[in-house]
Amino acid sequence: MHLNATDKDEGSNAQVVYSYTLYTSEKTQEKFSLDPNSGEIRVKGVIDYEETRSFEMYVEAKDKAVSPLSAQCKILVFVTDLNDNYPDIIVKSFKSSIKENTPTGTVIAVVSVSDRDSGDNGKVFISLHDAHVLPFLLNKSSEDYFELTIKDPLDREKDSSYEIMLHVTDGGTPPLTDNETISLEILDVNDNAPAFSQSFYTIHLPENNEPVTIKVSTVEQVVVTQLTETTEMPMEYDLFTDLNLYLLLSLGSVSFLLLITILVIIVLKCQKPKPSKAAVHSRNSVTSQRNSTIGDSTLISSDAYWYSLFLAETRKGKVVVRQPLPNGSGFIVSSIPRSVALTTTSESRSSTLQESSSDLP
């Protein structure tokens, strides 16, 4: 700013010098400078609207006469605000953790906002980042205060924590913005009962399996079920394990031996011996008696004794043949290898019995 004062006198009486007095606080005394000869006012310090919005200045023009004369003018300086301050956001109080069953509407934070600028530059707008996906709501409680409340029920099993970002901006051109983040942890409560992944389970287990339990695993739980009945085995089950194969072979062998034994007994029961007074020992008969453990006597009348001998010879893989004597005084017992017994005809066995009976005393 340039001031100009004139004097109609001549010489030194017309020469003017300038000086000023600033009627403000002492902090602003050095904000301006005045050239005493030209009357030019300059700003030499930082002018801050938020510190001083106006200045009142008195400038004096004095001539250089022996008895100087002077004139004075008043200057008012108004500072124009610029959008040079960022909006402030302060979280006054907040909860760092809450339980998941906290009722909706509960206040979890109180936030204050402000801006040192004036006019539109000082207007502050606050918003909740990602408000459409967060279970929270920002409400205005007063001119500069907002409350952050719970909008929807919380579920720790869905989200265990939140990063809540508050975004503020002013109305200046261009606008200035700021952010503040609130970290909130959701505490668990016992609001879920144990649950199976399905309501019914079907388990297939082979028979003759070892006792004690079967573990049925789900995604989150392990359920122990005790089987009480045998069910059909699925095709994908590994049937031919070492243990199962051994059991099958054992059962097959025992069943085969039992079948052969039953067949032999049936054949012997169906045979009818031909009575004969004398018979000559055949080579097969002699051999079977010699290799048997029946003993020297071939006359056996005790059924219990005969049965025990029958079992003993059968375990050795032989067939025991018992034929009654014609006079009914006893039986002739012969021990024959199983292969020979299966191929020998009924007629040859009858001949053997007759030959054996001829040797009796």
In a domain, 214, yes or no: yes
Residue 291's domain comprises 271-357
In a domain, 202, yes or no: yes
In a domain, 36, yes or no: yes
What percent of the chain stands above pLDDT 90? 32
Write the burial class of residue 121 (CB in 10 Å: 0-12 exposed, 13-18 middle, 19+ buried). buried
Cβ contacts of 355 within 8 Å, gap of 6 or more: 279, 280, 281, 282, 285
Tens of pLDDT, residues 164-216: 999 999 999 999 999 999 999 999 999 889 988 888 888 887 787 777 666 66
Domain shared by 158 and 139, yes or no: yes
Number of domains into which the chain is organized: 4
- CA–CA dist 288, 43 (Å, integer): 143
Q: What is the DSSP string of 175-187?
A: --EEEEEEEEEEE
Q: Is the pLDDT of residue 125 over 70?
A: yes
Domain shared by 93 and 70, yes or no: no
In a domain, 49, yes or no: yes
Domain shared by 65 and 123, yes or no: no
Domain boundary pick from 144, 168, 187: 187
In a domain, 247, yes or no: no
In a domain, 220, yes or no: yes
Please state whether the predicted TM-score (pTM) of the whole model is above 0.85: no
Domain shared by 69 and 41, yes or no: yes
Residue 181: strand pairing partners = 165
Residue 185: strand pairing partners = 97, 161
In a domain, 252, yes or no: no
CATH number of the domain where residue 147 is located: 2.60.40.60
H or E element that contains 143: none
Domain shared by 92 and 156, yes or no: yes
Tens of pLDDT, residues 306-328: 667 777 777 777 777 777 766 66
Q: Read off the pLDDT of each residue in 122-137 and give the average, rounded to a whole number.
A: 93
Domain shared by 178 and 93, yes or no: yes
In a domain, 229, yes or no: yes
Structure tokens at 240: 């031919």
